[in-house]
Amino acid sequence: QVQLVESGGGSVQAGGFLRLSCAASRDTYNSRCLGWFRQAPGKEREGVARIYTGSSSTDYADSVKGRFTISQDNAKKTVYLQMNSLKPEDTAMYYCASGPVTACLWGGRVFRPPDYTYWGQGTQVTVSS
């Protein structure tokens, strides 16, 4: 059964914006660490932002801080990633992932993919200069 579904990706020009959505289930949403990761061709998967749905506590990678905002909607069991002031280097496949609370307990900008139990299929974001 599908438990995480991303949507909202697309192609935009530099300086533009996109809003990604991650639709979750009870098992993947409630009191879970929901993270957004991205992976560009030839590069390692990197964490972008995360939110613990039990407290709404958030963390961001330095590269997106001040430009991206992660948020949650408990009624819809959905996590969003608002991406503003997009840059060409933001181009990547973006993935939503769900893990236990411990995945959100790493300090600062540390994101560890192995900590996440469930992964979505990904949604492509392309930013042209």
What does the pLDDT look like over 5-23, one tens digit per residue? 999 999 999 999 999 999 9
- Does the structure show a pLDDT above 70 at 2? yes
Instruction: Name the token pair of 34.
Output: 């929901």
Q: How many CA atoms lie within 13 Å of 73's alpha carbon, on the beta-carbon side? A: 10
- Does the structure show a pLDDT above 80 at 107? no
Give the Cα separation of 16 and 34 in Å (integer): 24
What does the pLDDT look like over 41-80, one tens digit per residue? 999 999 999 999 999 999 999 999 999 999 999 999 999 9
Give the Cα separation of 83 and 79 in Å (integer): 13
- Does the structure show a pLDDT above 70 at 108? no
Cα radius of gyration rounded to whole Å, the chain: 13
DSSP single-letter state for residue 31? T
